[in-house]
């Protein structure tokens, strides 16, 4: 978990790869739907291009569909989900249906200016339409308004570990692994 540009995707992939876990990225799922021009893709393209969050019901349905094709014992690193309180509640329900639960929330953090610079660099490197300066500012604001409250939700459950997301990728990865180990996340 963390704001846009903090490195969630990069770090989630590294953690999943190192432990043999599934990396489930809602952003990747949405971009795949857009690329394939599915009904979901057509519905979410404008929303994502504006830097807004996709409606909870659509996001939860997409995650539910993905979980339905995942073996019940497969460990999962969620990337970009949950982003709202409603999604957090839905995730708890989806996992409970499978006899599972959230074991840890690894919160990557970085200053807003660092995030803005990273997102602008990514926009240039990848040609992402959801990373214009205006959209970047909106995405960071939406994160603060919609997702930041989940930190307290997960802290109250004793699940959150804060990780400094600034520095070389390898250093952040090491801090992330240390936090996962301290939280006794099973690999």
pLDDT band at 187 (very low <50, low <70, confident <90, very high): very low
Kindly list the domain boundaries of the chain, sorted by start residue.
8-182
Q: Residue 156: is its pLDDT beyond 90?
A: yes
Reply yes or no on whether 128 is catalytic. yes
Q: Is 8 annotated as catalytic?
A: yes
Select from 91, 106, 103 the least CA-distant residue to 186. 103
Q: Where does the pLDDT of residue 184 fall: very low under 50, low under 70, confident under 90, or very high at 90 and above?
A: low
Residue 122 annotated among the catalytic residues of the structure: yes
Check residue 7 and report its DSSP letter.
S
**Upper half-sphere CA count for residue 95 (Cβ side, 13 Å):** 18
Q: Which of 118, 139, 161, 175 is catalytic?
A: 139
For residue 63, name the pLDDT band (cuts at 50, 70, 90). Answer: very high
Q: How far apart are CA 16 and CA 180, in angstroms?
A: 12
Task: State the catalytic residue, choosing from 83, 118, 161, 175.
Answer: 83
pLDDT tens for 72-117 read 889 999 998 999 999 999 999 999 999 999 999 999 999 999 999 9
- Closest to 89 measured CA to CA, from 150, 13, 160: 150
Q: Does domain 8-182 have CATH number 3.40.50.300?
A: yes
Among 13, 64, 128, 162, the active-site one is 128
Q: Which of 75, 98, 112, 122 is catalytic?
A: 122
SS3 content of the chain, % helix, strand, coil (to 5): 60, 10, 30
Give pLDDT, residue 155. 94
* pLDDT tens digits, 3-59: 999 999 999 999 999 989 999 999 999 999 999 999 999 999 999 888 888 999 999
Residue 186 — pLDDT band, cuts 50, 70, 90?
very low
For 29, the enclosing helix (H) or strand (E) is helix 26-36
């Amino acid at each position: 978990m963390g704001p846009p540009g903090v490195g969630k995707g990069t770090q989630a992939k590294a953690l999943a790869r190192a432990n043999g876990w599934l990396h489930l990225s809602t952003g990747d799922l949405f971009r795949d739907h857009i690329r394939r021009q599915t009904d979901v893709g057509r519905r979410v393209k404008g929303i994502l291009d504006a830097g807004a969050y996709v409606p909870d019901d659509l996001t939860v349905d997409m995650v539910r569909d993905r979980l339905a094709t995942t073996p019940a014992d497969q460990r999962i690193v969620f990337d970009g989900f949950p982003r709202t309180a409603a999604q957090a509640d839905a995730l708890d329900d989806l996992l409970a249906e499978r006899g599972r639960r959230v074991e840890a929330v690894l919160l990557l953090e970085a200053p807003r200016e660092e995030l803005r610079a990273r997102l602008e660099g990514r926009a240039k490197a990848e040609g992402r339409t959801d990373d214009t300066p205006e959209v970047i500012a909106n995405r960071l604001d939406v994160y603060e308004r919609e997702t930041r409250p989940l930190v307290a939700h997960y802290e109250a459950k004793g699940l959150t570990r804060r990780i400094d997301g600034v520095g070389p990728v390898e250093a952040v990865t090491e801090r992330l692994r240390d936090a996962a180990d301290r939280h006794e996340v099973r690999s």
